[in-house]
Amino acid sequence: MTLLWILLLPLCGISLPMLTAKWSRSACALLTALPPALAFILLLSQTSAVFAGETLRFSLAWVPVLGLDVALRLDGLAYLFSLLILGIGLLIILYARFYLSAADSMPRFYTFLMFFMTAMLGIVLSNNVLQLWLFWELTSISSFLLISFWWHKSEARRGARMALTITGAGGLCLLAALLLIGRIVGSYDLDVILASADILLAHSWYPILLVLFLLGCFTKSAQFPFHFWLPNAMAAPTPVSAYLHSATMVKAGIFLMARFYPALAGSDLWIILVSLTGLATLLVGAYLALFKHDLKGLLAYSTISHLGLITLLLGMGTELAAVVAIFHIINHATFKASLFMAAGIIDHETGSRDMRKLNGLWAYMPITGTLVMIAAASMAGIPLLNGFLSKEMFLAETLDQHLLGALSWLIPLLATIAAVFSVAYSLRLIHDVFFNGEPRGLTKTPHEPPHLMRLPVEILVVLCIVIGLFPVWAVGALLQSAAGAVLGGEVPAYSLALWHGVNLPLFMSVVAISGGLLIYSYRKRLFDFQNSLPGLDALNSFELAIKTVNRYCRYFYEWLDNGSLQRYMVFLLSAVVVLAGLPLLDVSVLAGGREELPIDAVNATGAALLLISALATVIWHRKRVVALLMISVVGLMVSIAFTRFSAPDLALTQLSVEVVTVILLMLALFFLPHKTPSQSEPSRVIRDISLAGLVGIVIGSWAYAVMTRPFTSISDFFLANAKTGGGGTNVVNVILVDFRGFDTFGEIAVLGIAALGIFKLLTRIPLFKPSSDGDGRPWSRERHPLLLATVSQSLLPLALMVSVYIFFRGHNLPGGGFIAGLITSVALILQYIAHGVDWVKSRMDIEYQRVIAIGLLIALVTGVASFAFGRPFLTSWFDYFHLPILGELELASAIAFDLGVYLTVVGATLLILSSLGKMTTLHRPVHKETI
Amino acid sequence: METLLACCIGFLTACGVFLMLRGRTFPVAMGLTMLSYAVNLFLFSSGRLNLQGAAVLGMSENYADPLPQALVLTAIVIGFAMTAFLVILAIRARSDLGNDHVDGKLPDSDGRRKENGA
């Protein structure tokens, strides 16, 4: 439970600064510091248990099925990092109180800072790797917010974006790695994973997951070649640089490598990747740090270099090196955080961080100067300070490795060179800032800061000295327990003594110090050399790269999505050809083995007519009226095909729909051009013909493959139950109104919706009304031919009678609501054609929207009625009655449902056609919107 | 017979696709009509071909599969509704945009497309 509180207290603290925004700055800072201070005390209360080698755990089941728990774990390593996070965090809160000016929003800053602190604690305390990853991402986000704290500065925004991009991308890699680990081990529990080194190392995914894992760590810890985001993150306020970008967040990657050290480190791949990356980072950072004129820039590159040093130690693969890595984490945190804060003080009290302007500050701020000198000396590895101890142990370790085989001697050499540069830039930091003449062009007169602002630096510098002088007493137990956690128990013998006798590492230190002095004294030449190299601005290059990627994405997108529907169709159909065509390449799948029916003369003729008329439609598709006539022949042939192949219902439906469709298209042609202009280029036509041909071949082949296969159908059920269960012998109709009645209900609803949509589309249409046909001939003045009028009128009762007959017989013989509805529609449309809208409207004033609504309602009520009898929706009922004269009569609830279908079809068809037809009459009635 | 019908389905599909790839609305509407013939025949044929076997009980020995027929029947009606909607949309588009190109704007002579608003 204590563990949970260590994490929860800073979490509660996130909102505290905002609540106290109205109070004085000191009160706000004090209250903000309260929760972390309590958490710090709680942490200290666990000291003895942790130092005794215990691992404290806390677990709360959250989503056990997914392996997600709120699981916390405190061992030596987590304790060390929590100590750094909370301890330095408290110092930073104090420091920021004085650092931030009145214009900066202090509550906002503290909120972000606490947010970060919580996230960082979450990383080190997590015992579930997914939970760990969540906190990992939160640190990236809070780092983004903190870097861009001064959002009015362009470099702050750009630096923040870059840091987020790099660490965010690394975070995704890490997630992939953690998921892979979870899959391999079968658990996301850290305890389980740490104990599963054998499984992980032996698994074939190990190289992939290791690279992904290291990408996450390297990006976060600013390892070469991802180091460039860190110097640009220095646009953040200095407390942030001191806290996130030197002491804690950039060490998250190192923490993770140390955390997973027992599980992942035992391979050559780990050793090569981690040690070489660390070595490169160490050198690049140390070299570049010397040339930075910005105080924080120098410290940033120095941080990169030291992070590289720790990485190199972790990559050496020896247990002792891992111990040294932990030791250096402690030391680096103390001296680098104090140097950053001192740099902030100098910036704050002089108004500049440029080392070309800052000179001779010793006369103005001697106390700060002393502090910087001690911390920088520790950074350079001068004896009596903590930096010296770990650096000496590091140099000793470089001598005791065989990473590069015969070339292993290179590593101590390169390490010494890095140490030389490290001395040189530390010297530059001291000499350029505090001596070296007088300050130049400063806007303020430098002076010492308020004592409380200096206090955090003092505390850390004292720590540097104490650890340097009495390492065993100061951090011995801490180091022992943390190293035990990293190595999984066994800690090798090591000596934290100041004096190890005259040996090679001591000699290397001497070389480093004297070499550093030498380089610093000849720095002018080195600077000239460095200036003569072509400069590379990481920020601009990065943004350029991002812009280039964006541009190519845009090109691709514009190519893909250029607004042409025809183009999309081509893509879509090509996909159809590829996806549906590939399985057909195996020709043997085509023939199914079912015996084919013989071809008779009628069928052959019908097929020939169908093909010819389809071809004619395509050939004459620019002459639209001709094409329309041709396509109606196709439709006719299709309905004949349905008749031939035992589908009388389909044939009837197709025939009546054909009539309605042709009338509709004819009407439509009144408003559309009668000819299609020829605009397609020949290449386009060839492309379309080839694509159409391919689609046709693929679909035809599939049809053939389907038809020639033997099959069993679920229809036997329908055939067996149509009479007994549905009360009808026309199985197709029984399926429609009974077995699959719910489908039909949905379908007539769609029909009604389409009709209403059309009705709406045609209201308030800005009419494009031609006065002549496409060839310039005026429309005929004889609007309603007499012959047609006479015949249609006498045909109407006949047609209506036929539709009633078709309707009623539908349950037992071909027919039914759909077909009857279409026949009625055709009969009524004929009246419209023969007499005009006004004539019909004066005799039959029906609003078709209502007809649709009534039809749907009847169908719905029929369905719902079965609830009254305790049956599910649309259960049908039927019975037989014997009536005089009429004889045997069947009554079925399905008939009522079919009536609904009938009315909806009539309403929809007539609504569509009469709405359109109304547009064509010259004396168009004033259109009233009735919906 | 199956081969012949498969050829017809393939040919209707090809014609329909070709028309759907045209740039003007009316050929596209016709192409869609043609394609729905092909699709309906395809769906129907998935119940296999059967002569003299209408699915009316008591009228034959060997019934055709009624299920695809029922599906196709509603498909025909819905296909009509869809064609109608498309055609009316085309009319509306022509009225609002002043041309009957599927993209709502005419292709430029040099290949670029330009606004050709009403």
pLDDT in tens, B42-95: 999 988 888 888 888 877 778 888 999 999 998 998 899 999 999 999 888 888
Q: To 5 degrees, how large is the angle CA A658–CA A663–CA A667?
A: 145
* Residue A324 in this model has a pLDDT that exceeds 60: yes
Pairing assessment for the beta strands A68-74 and A56-63 based on DSSP bridges = antiparallel
CB contact under 8 A, A573 and B17: yes
Minimum-distance CB partner of A751 among B24, B27, B81: B81
What is the rounded distance in angstroms from the CA atom of residue A748 to the CA atom of residue A447?
Answer: 87
pLDDT of A780 reads 66
Chain A residues with beta carbon closer than 8 angstroms to that of B94: 671-672, 768
Weakest mean pLDDT among A76-85, A728-737, A783-792, A852-861:
A783-792
Chain B residues with beta carbon closer than 8 angstroms to that of A908: 81
Weakest mean pLDDT among A327-341, A369-383, A780-794:
A780-794
Express each pLDDT in A666-681 by its tens digit: 888 888 887 888 767 8
Chain B residues with beta carbon closer than 8 angstroms to that of A634: 12, 34, 37
Express each pLDDT in A244-254 by its tens digit: 888 889 999 99
Q: How confident is the model at residue A527 (pLDDT cuts 50, 70, 90)?
A: confident
CB contact under 8 A, A573 and B41: no
Mean pLDDT taken over chain A: 88
* Residue A450 in this model has a pLDDT that exceeds 50: yes
- What average pLDDT does range A884-895 have in this prediction? 74
pLDDT of A769 reads 63
CB contact under 8 A, B3 and A740: no
CB contact under 8 A, A603 and B88: no
Phi, psi of A59 (to 5 degrees): -145, 140
Tell me the nearest-neighbour CA distance from A882 into chain B, angstroms. Answer: 22
* Residue A86 in this model has a pLDDT that exceeds 90: yes
Express each pLDDT in A468-519 by its tens digit: 999 988 888 999 999 998 888 778 888 887 777 788 888 888 999 999 999 8
Minimum-distance CB partner of A696 among B17, B44, B73: B17
- What average pLDDT does range A538-550 have in this prediction? 86
Find how far residue A557's CA is from the centre of its chain: 18
Check residues B111 and A887 and name the one with the higher pLDDT. Answer: A887
A920 touches chain B (CB under 8 A): no
Tell me the nearest-neighbour CA distance from B65 into chain A, angstroms. Answer: 6
| Residue in this structure with the two tokens 């990236």, named with its chain if needed | A140
Residue ranges of alpha helices (H) inside A351-470 are 366-380, 386-399, 410-434, 451-469
Minimum-distance CB partner of B30 among A617, A755, A768: A617
Weakest mean pLDDT among A58-72, A409-423, A760-774:
A760-774
What CATH architecture is B2-115? Orthogonal Bundle (1.10)
CB contact under 8 A, B70 and A740: yes
Phi, psi of A927 (to 5 degrees): -85, 120
Q: How confident is the model at residue A578 (pLDDT cuts 50, 70, 90)?
A: very high
CB contact under 8 A, A596 and B1: yes
Q: How confident is the model at residue B108 (pLDDT cuts 50, 70, 90)?
A: low
A534 touches chain B (CB under 8 A): no
Q: How confident is the model at residue A929 (pLDDT cuts 50, 70, 90)?
A: very low
pTM flag (> 0.80): no
Joined tokens for residue A177: 């790695």
- What is the residue type of A550? N
Q: Can you tell me whether residue A292 is helix, strand or coil?
A: coil
ipTM: 0.91
pLDDT of A84 reads 94
Q: Give Dmax over CA atoms of chain A in angstroms.
A: 130
Chain B residues with beta carbon closer than 8 angstroms to that of A603: 1, 4
For chain B, the helix, strand and coil percentages under 3-state DSSP, each to the nearest 5: 60, 5, 35
pLDDT of A64 reads 79
- What average pLDDT does range A365-393 have in this prediction? 91
| Residue in this structure with the two tokens 């081969």, named with its chain if needed | B3
Domain boundaries of chain B, sorted by first residue: 2-115
pLDDT of A927 reads 44
What is the rounded distance in angstroms from the CA atom of residue A392 to the CA atom of residue A313?
Answer: 13
Element (H, E) at A18: helix A16-19
Cis ω before A225 (30° cut-off from 0): yes
Tell me the nearest-neighbour CA distance from B26 into chain A, angstroms. Answer: 8
- What average pLDDT does range A14-20 have in this prediction? 87
pLDDT of A771 reads 62
Q: How confident is the model at residue B115 (pLDDT cuts 50, 70, 90)?
A: very low
CB contact under 8 A, B100 and A714: no
pLDDT of A41 reads 95
pLDDT of A887 reads 66
| Residue in this structure with the two tokens 């159409």, named with its chain if needed | A692
**A13 touches A35 (CB < 8 A):** yes
